[in-house]
Amino acid sequence: MNGAELLVKTAIEAGVEVCFANPGTTELPIVTALDKTPGIKAFLGLSEGVCTGAADGYGRMLDKPAMVLLHLGPGLANGLSNLHNARRAKSPVLNVVGEHATWHRNADPPLAMDIESLAGTVSGWWRTSKSTLDISVDVVDAVTATRLGQVATLIVPHDYQLAECDVNRVKTSGEPFDSLDPDAIKAVASRLRASRKVAVMLGGRALRKPGLDAAARIQKTVGCDLFTQTFPGYMERGTGLPIVERLPYFPRQATRVISQYEVVLFAGAPEPVAFFGYPGFGSQILTDEQERMTLCTDRQNVVEALENLANTVGAPSHLAINDNLLGRQERQAMPEGKLTAEKACLTLAAVQPENAVIIDESATSGYLYFAPPAGLPAYSLMTLTGGALGQGIPCATGAAIARPDRPVINLEADGSAMYTVQALWTQAREGSNVTTLICSNRSYRILQVELVHAGNTSHGPNVLALTELTRPPFNWVKIAQGFGVPAVTVSTAEDLAKELSSAFAEPGPHLIEMLLP
Ligand SMILES: Cc1ncc(C[n+]2csc(CCOP(=O)(O)OP(=O)(O)O)c2C)c(N)n1
Ligand SMILES: [Mg+2]
């Protein structure tokens, strides 16, 4: 066995099943090992942002890491922006980066870069292997780190991958979480009982069904309201699931909503801050007078903490299925006529199949999607956690590879789509069940809105050059077809409903361009 085979063997034993890769010469021993030691299926991403975004989607979907295989510093640099989104989503990602042979590194070959510095900006854990024999321990430590909900980057020199080693026993994974502090949870419980108005801000794993169920039991007993931050990584919603409000994007609106609460309890979510520093408005969303409490640290298990808190406040073991704290199915009325962003959201809500996964990178167009679908069949929602565009198409690809049985719907803004559009090719190659809905407003609309907010109402030629996606407009049907994905354009709600139904009925990827004003 060589170091690369040891790496792959250890990853397989640690539960890794897929690898999203864009390799080069310094990763070829690992590429070979993926065939020699079967157990991990490899997927080619045509740029590193596709690989890292797909691993993020996979990690959000299954709450377990995919491996990413990237080429040296430049490959990692290309993939950083979606690793940044993964970090904000608390996604588990095992990121493996090849490095030059140790004896060659000091010659400063053309591709040499400071890989650890790049890794440090997005990873909760990172390390360069110190020897071939260390690789097994390194992989296990990395996978254990991902289980806390973070990106772990392992950098492996080329000569260590190639060197023979006779390790037969690979190290097995340890327990990632610190234990809970029962006294801290008791203190939170008594404060909740004594407070008049409490908001619980849920994040990370707390937004999956077990966490939500525990939160709803707490809600039933102490009468609090449940919130998510504006951009949750992965949340389950719809019929039978607790109703969680989303904090508005613009800071003034967010403050208006949250400032009514005497106490805000953070469970897996950090304190919210404004997305940008707008003149005249500070960073914080909560007021100085509001009391903040944190249920547990990032190294503790938030679901266990919520269940513990629910038991401590004396909550019932579960809510009745018809409890009014749980979402109820009410189908949306079907809109008619020429499409607008709102009608596009409502049409999707009206035809969305059971158990769908919605990947929302729709910027200004899909913002209305969250409000009406409270009465939808159960579904999962993933959003643009870190604000770094180019997440949607790759994330949908990874989600569909993780769960080929679930319909994945990617609500995707046209400008955002173009950063990593080649992920469509991976969808075509893998026959992924993804329906991409392009919100074709042919502009960077949000930037135009922000300019107006900032008082710039007459847009000059340079502003238009930098915010309009015209001259020429994208031909979405040809772009998608060029990557092997069937595509159509629609301009009415009726046609959208019809095309959605046929896309859901037929396996494999589809793209629908929605012409919006
Ligand atoms: C990686 C990255 N580059 C640039 C930006 C800045 N940015 C924010 S929104 C936006 C335009 C979004 O346009 P589109 O995706 O078409 O959505 P729309 O505003 O039209 O709804 C840009 C360029 C960003 N957030 N991330
Ligand atoms: Mg746009």
Distance 253 CA to ligand 1 centre (A): 21
**Quick check: 371 pLDDT over 90?**
no
CB 17 within 8 A of CB 11: no
How does pLDDT run across 254-310, given as a tens digit for each residue? 999 999 999 999 999 999 999 999 888 899 999 999 999 999 999 999 999 999 999
Cβ–ligand 1 contact at 48 (below 6 Å): no
* Ligand 1 contact, 416 CB (< 6 A): yes
Residue from 439, 447, 476 whose mutation best tests the ligand 1 pocket (most atoms within 8 A of CB): 447
**Ligand 1 atom closest to residue 417's alpha carbon, by position in its atom list:** 15
Are 364 and 413 spatial neighbours (Cβ–Cβ below 8 Å)?
Answer: yes
Structure token digits, residue 30:
């690992």
CB atoms within 10 A of CB 23: 21
> Does ligand 1 have an atom closer than 6 angstroms to the CB of 144?
no
Cβ-based burial of 427 (10 A; exposed 0-12, middle 13-18, buried ≥19): buried
> Which ligand lies nearest to the CA atom of residue 442 in the structure?
2
Confidence grade of residue 170 (pLDDT, cut at 50, 70, 90)? low
* Res 453: pLDDT: 86
Q: Which ligand gives the minimal distance to the CA of 389?
A: 1
Atom number, ligand 1, closest to the C-alpha of residue 444: 13
CA–CA separation, 435 and 130 (whole Å): 44
Q: How many angstroms does the Cα of residue 250 sit away from the middle of ligand 2?
A: 19
- Predicted confidence (pLDDT) at residue 428 exceeds the cutoff of 90: yes
Write down the H helix ranges in 168-301: 182-194, 209-222, 251-258
Instruction: Give the Å distance between the CA of 275 and the centre of ligand 1.
Output: 14
| For residue 221, pLDDT beyond 90 | yes
CA distance 513 to 438: 5
State if residue 415 touches ligand 1 by the CB under 6 angstroms criterion.
yes
Determine contact, residues 199/265, Cβ cutoff 8 Å.
yes
Q: How do residues 57-88 score in pLDDT, each as one tens digit?
A: 999 999 999 999 999 999 999 999 999 999 99
**HEC letters along 47-91:** CHHHHHHHHHHHHHHHCCCEEEEECHHHHHHHHHHHHHHHHHHCC
Is the pLDDT at 35 greater than 60? The verdict is yes
Q: Is the CB of 420 under 6 A from ligand 1?
A: no
Query: Counting atoms of ligand 1 from 1, which one is nearest the CA of 81?
Result: 1
With tokens 């809600």, the residue in question is 219
Nearest to 419 by CA among 55, 48, 105: 48
Ligand 1 atom closest to the Cα of residue 469 is: 16
| 3-state SS record for 132-167 | CCCHHHHHHHHHHHHCCCCEEEEEEEHHHHHCECCC
Q: Ligand 1 in contact with 365 (CB < 6 A)? A: yes
Does ligand 1 come within 6 angstroms of the Cβ of 434? no
**Whole-number average pLDDT of the chain:** 95
Per-residue pLDDT, 374: 52
Helix (H) or strand (E) holding 293: strand 291-294
Cβ–ligand 1 distance for 87 under 6 Å, the answer: no
pLDDT value of residue 329: 82
Nearest ligand, CA 449:
1
* Ligand nearest the Cα atom of residue 445: 1
42 CB near ligand 1 (under 6 Å):
no
